[in-house]
Amino acid sequence: MSTPVKYVISMFPMWDSFLRLSSIFGREKTKTLDEYFNEVIKHVKEKEDVLFKKLLELAPDVPSEEAYTRAMEELSKILEIEFQEDLSKMINIADNEIYPVEELQEKILNILIPHFVEVKQKIDNDAKALWEKALRGEIKIKDIEKFEIMDKSLFLGSNILGIILETRDFEVMNKLLPYFVLLPARIMKVIFNNKDLSELQEDFKLIARKIKEVHPQPTTVDDYFLEELLEK
């Protein structure tokens, strides 16, 4: 399985189930929340092949915000179905303690942040290795377009996570993380269907616009590169 897809799989439980079911999480103690999250991660790994197949099926067919929105909605449904047992278990063990929304969001972020740091480091290492390969002259002319696609994908993925880490803002995470999950799946779908790779330039523009919209002046993002993506 390709590296970008592994990133996708590793991030599956990290956004929608938590975001859509915050009222349930509000009745969880911190320890229980940690344990639940680790249990979901375990089950994600067990269902990796199934989730990968479903992710490719729901990935956008065209580079439009509407297509991405539909894919996000479908992904939400799949997560709720695939992890229904985990969610039911969480409800059954919930106690009467209620957290304020802000405190709940902070607790969820505290659980997710270390995972984001780890995944971002892996992406950055892959980007570095990709460029080292290019500088050694190991990228064939026929593979230049693939190199550019991978480079831009890694750049956007790394900086989405970078913005989430920089802001520690629950709403920012909610808006950007779905694009992090869906972009690699979209790339894989284009490749598997033998479509023109140049079509992905519109995906990059769409996500660059979303980043600028959600966080106009990030310090973790190469703003020049974002503008370059938007201009192409």
pLDDT digits (tens, 9 = 90+) for 60-88: 999 999 999 999 999 888 888 887 777 66
Q: What pLDDT shows up at residue 52? A: 86
Name the DSSP letter for residue 51.
Answer: H
Indicate yes or no: pTM above 0.95: no
User: Nearest-CA neighbor of 225 among 203, 204, 202?
Assistant: 204
Residue 117 tokens read as 């740091």
Distance of alpha carbon 180 from alpha carbon 189, whole angstroms: 15
Name the E strands within 70-226. Answer: none
Q: Extract the residue ranges of the chain whose pLDDT is less than 50.
A: 1-31, 93-96, 224
Query: 81-119: buried (b, 16+ CB within 10 Å) or exposed (e) per residue?
Result: ebbeebbeebeeeeeeeebeeeebbebbbebbeebbeeb
**pLDDT tens per residue across span 90-123:** 555 444 456 566 777 787 788 889 989 999 999 9
